[in-house]
Amino acid sequence: MTVIVGVSGQSLNQSDIDILSDPLVSGVILFPRNYANLDQLKALTQSIRELRSDLLLCTDHEGGRVQRLKAHFTELPPMGDLNKIWQSNPSEGEQLAFACGYITGHELQQSGIDSGLSPVLDIDRHLNNVVGNRSFGNDSQTVAELASAYCRGARASGAFTVGKHFPGHGGSAQDSHTDAAYDSRTMAELENDLFPFKTLIQRQLLDAIMPAHVIYSEVDSKPAGFSKVWLTDILKNQCGFKGLIISDCLTMQAAQIDGGIAEAAAQALEAGCSSVIICHHLEKIPQILADLNKRLPANYQPSLKPQVEVVSDAEEYLRQINILKNLEGLVADLRTSEIQL
């Protein structure tokens, strides 16, 4: 895999087709601008598959405030709400997390999408709004157990799991979407944040990991997504992660470096990323791809998209929807999807 790009609208135009035909393009990330209704979405994903069957199709679909596709999909609670149930009944909390993972995977799969780029493995330290209730909680063990249950549900539906934002965004006071982000803790102090990532890696529940655009100044001077220390030395070699590493979007403020997006993409790939995401500034993508082609070594070999062999089951999906509806502590007006089974 190499570059995951956004597309301009609700159907492919010639510029989109030209970009997606480039061998350096490895996937498509979808946003509300790409979605009107389910029939249109299925037509869009099918047209992408017909053009390139090897592309990874993804969207941000975590539940709560980060769920790009809402109309006609089940509106999932923020994962922080699961923590409230876990505190009184861990078994029910895990059951609910499994249901959220399964429902997410099933509904996206039925729409032609491989991954919701979830779960969030950050620990909520109440330092910034970018994490907040996107996190499963403020305790590393709770986050690890609920995220594990979520991944088991997502995997059971055939979805592609992505743990983020390695090694943990919870200790930064800044929002990396809008500002350079820093975390001054030592490696020893970061171990608690690393625990959910290490646990899910050991349990083989993650297909990919997304690093944070945060500078952990006591470990390396570069943001984790551009750091060989974090991605190769720590994540691959020390933690033993063998899956894909997908950068967060390179148009975020904390990812801005001298040389522009193409230079950022090259540095991220050289540090250990399998793919980089470019969500916006679509008019710049052809030049970015051309510049990146010159920047990468001649023998560069893109990683391949993993093959998902599990197909989700409609009866199991309905069972998980009922679990989501029936467990205590959820909002009463949960709106379930209009996905055709």
- Which residues lie closer than 8 Å to 313 by C-beta, 6 or more apart? none
Q: How crowded is the C-beta side of 51, counted as CA atoms within 13 Å?
A: 25
Among residues of the chain, what percentage have pLDDT more than 70?
Answer: 88
Residue 334 has pLDDT above 70, yes or no: no
Higher per-residue confidence, 282 vs 340 = 282
Other Cβ atoms closer than 10 A to 254: 22
d(CA 138, CA 20): 40
Question: Are 164 and 213 contacting, i.e. CB atoms less than 8 angstroms apart?
Answer: no
135-144, 172-181, 268-277, 310-319: least confident range:
172-181
Facing residues of 163 across strands? 209
Enzyme catalytic residues: 177, 248
Higher per-residue confidence, 73 vs 334 = 73
Helix axes 90-110, 79-88, angle to 10 degrees: 150
- Tell me the average pLDDT across 121-136: 89
Among residues of the chain, what percentage have pLDDT more than 90?
Answer: 65
Domains and CATH numbers, the chain: 3-326 (3.20.20.300)
Predicted structure pTM score: 0.92
Higher per-residue confidence, 197 vs 311 = 197
Confidence band, pLDDT 50/70/90 cuts, at residue 307: low
Residue 273 has pLDDT above 80, yes or no: yes
- The pLDDT of residue 84 is 87
- The pLDDT of residue 333 is 46
- The pLDDT of residue 34 is 96
Residue 190 has pLDDT above 50, yes or no: yes
Angle ∠(191,125,138) on CA atoms, nearest 5? 75
- The pLDDT of residue 331 is 43
pLDDT digits over 56-89, tens only? Answer: 999 999 988 999 998 889 989 999 999 989 998 9
Q: Cite the DSSP H helix spans in the chain.
A: 14-20, 38-51, 79-88, 90-110, 140-156, 187-202, 228, 260-271, 285-295, 314-326
d(CA 78, CA 330): 10
d(CA 117, CA 138): 21
User: If you average pLDDT over every residue of the chain, what do you get?
Assistant: 88
Confidence band, pLDDT 50/70/90 cuts, at residue 261: confident
Residue 129 has pLDDT above 50, yes or no: yes
Q: How many residues are present in the chain?
A: 341
